[in-house]
Structure 1
Amino acid sequence: MSIYEFTRKKLKTHGVQNSHDGRIIFSDKRLFLMFVRLERARRFEDIVIVQKAVNEIASYCKSIGKPHLIIFSFMYLRFSDLTPHITHRGEVLSDGDIRYVKDYTRRLSQEEVAIGEWALSMFEKYERFFLRVIARGEE
């Protein structure tokens, strides 16, 4: 499967085609190619390159008056094998520290874990507002 088909399929699993604004990602060739670059960056396993790709998507989405579409870039990374499959309840240690155990679907490098944690953090920060805007079809 080509990277273009893979990216399109993955975006569909995140519901891009289910909203008017989300479908812009498929109809705007430039924006779609930015998501392909995000996939390439994800495969390259470099957080700086991933963040640069996300920032390019954010800038372009703002320029077309749809800044809320950035949530799809966070979803693209958040709902991948870079984020924990299961996060177990925190365990309080004898010294007061808390240990969290996270299970992943495959072995990850430290860089991949960093990308996943960043994406998870950004998604959780913006999901409530941006997903609401997308569901309403507003700007």
Structure 2
Amino acid sequence: MNALTPYAAFFMRLAVGLVFLQHGWYKFHHMGVAGVAGMLHGIGFPFATIFAVILIAVETIGAICVVIGFYTRFWAACMAIEMLVAILAVQLPKGSGFEVEGLLFAGAVTLIALGDGPLSIAVKLKHGGS
């Protein structure tokens, strides 16, 4: 471990969070809950509307929280589960590649291990904003 190791979480949070946010923003603004639910229903997911709301929340609210370093472990766990489901229930049955999903899964698991890191809003809140 070197002096820069504690800051690895910051760069991983940016990478994972911003990719999720891009996808969530598209789902929220262009597809809406109904469009995402239709997509999920089309690939055989039960309770498609409920899962659509969860996906949009994880990919927008969760992504923003990850980027700023607020409850990173919780949101990263949600993201890891989402990517694992995407790989096992969507990509593999279609015979599609899952490189992006695999990298996002690995990044999310890394964030579960690293947590918020020193460059995060959580640290600022914990220390009274100083």
Same fold (TM over 0.5): no
More helix by share: 2
Normalising by structure 1, we get a TM-score of: 0.28
The normalised TM-score by structure 2 is 0.30
